[in-house]
């Protein structure tokens, strides 16, 4: 493959897709991980159109250790050691706390937090071997503050930030850095779920609901997936060698500091 091997989970849409495209445009060979083949193949075709190279790893379930281990092994066999690992797979269902049942709680924790743990643990030896390794976890401003009606999501993303900081210190004497990016409300398919919840509860139009979410950002707009991808691309570069253990908000000033 090309310059360096990057592996991105949740690469089929939204922020994960934008990150995969940005890494490919920068010369990385990209392993695209997700459960369904069709969206990953669409991203692979987009990457091919810009002259990049990508490898589809469908059936990649971040909640299943055996699936993760098999997928990581396949990616390494195909493209060599993983120099850049981006954990982007995630889910953000909404429910009041007293209606958040154990099944919902476990599902969100399994994907967002345990999934990040499983993928990172399975890939870590390879990241170390690659040299100048980079691990970037896509968390959320919900990992830095609280929001009503998404207690499971907030808890899981706080966990991702905590794990990021702990692992960064463990690896500080190596050449591997570990950071999190924390997007605010971002214009992705995942946001559509929040829009549907608002319209269902308030009767507002989808346009009004999106405007409500945009107003949370002091810049008065939604973050774009490409802005998140640009931050990941910087963290993956040699320009960010001294940056580790950080949780970087990409949110227009909504959350100050990490």
State the pLDDT at residue 257.
Answer: 64
Q: Is 153 annotated as catalytic?
A: yes
Query: From CA 134, how far away is CA 141, in angstroms rounded?
Result: 21
All structural domains of the chain: 5-250 (3.40.50.720)
Catalytic residue among 127, 153, 184, 245, which? 153
Strand ranges (DSSP E) for 93-169? 134-138
State the pLDDT at residue 180.
Answer: 98
Question: What φ, ψ does residue 38 adopt, rounded to 5°?
Answer: -55, -50
**pLDDT by residue (tens digit) across 81-123?**
999 999 999 999 989 999 999 999 999 999 999 999 999 999 9
Torsion of the alpha carbons at 43, 44, 45 and 47, rounded to the nearest 10: 90
45: pLDDT strictly greater than 60? yes
Torsion of the alpha carbons at 52, 238, 33 and 90, rounded to the nearest 10: -130
192: pLDDT strictly greater than 80? no
- Provide, for the chain, the percentages of residues in helix, strand and coil under a 3-state DSSP scheme, each rounded to the nearest 5: 50, 15, 35
Handedness of CA 71, 249, 12, 31 (dihedral sign): negative
């Amino acid at each position: 493959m090309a310059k360096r091997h990057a592996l991105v989970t949740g690469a089929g849409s939204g922020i994960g897709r934008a990150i995969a495209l940005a890494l490919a445009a920068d010369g990385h060979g990209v392993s695209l991980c997700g459960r369904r083949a069709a969206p990953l193949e669409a991203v692979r075709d987009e990457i091919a159109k810009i002259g990049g190279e990508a490898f589809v790893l469908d059936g990649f379930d971040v909640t299943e250790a055996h699936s993760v281990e098999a997928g990581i092994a396949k990616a390494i066999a195909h493209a060599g050691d993983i120099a850049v690992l981006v954990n982007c797979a995630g889910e953000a269902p909404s429910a009041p706390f007293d209606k958040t049942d154990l099944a919902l709680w476990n599902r969100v924790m399994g994907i967002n937090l345990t999934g990040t743990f499983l993928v990172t643990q399975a890939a870590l030896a390879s990241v170390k071997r690659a040299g100048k390794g980079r691990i970037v976890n896509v968390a959320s401003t919900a990992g830095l503050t609280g929001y009503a009606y998404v207690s499971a999501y907030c808890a899981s993303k706080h966990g991702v930030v905590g794990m990021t900081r702990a692992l960064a210190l463990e690896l500080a004497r190596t050449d591997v850095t570990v950071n999190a990016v924390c997007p605010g409300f971002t214009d992705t398919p995942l946001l559509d779920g929040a829009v549907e919840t608002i319209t269902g509860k308030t009767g507002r139009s989808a346009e009004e609901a999106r405007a409500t979410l945009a107003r949370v950002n002091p810049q008065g707009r939604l973050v774009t997936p490409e802005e998140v991808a640009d931050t990941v691309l910087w963290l993956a570069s040699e320009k960010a060698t001294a940056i580790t253990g950080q949780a970087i908000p990409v949110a227009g000033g909504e959350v100050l500091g990490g």
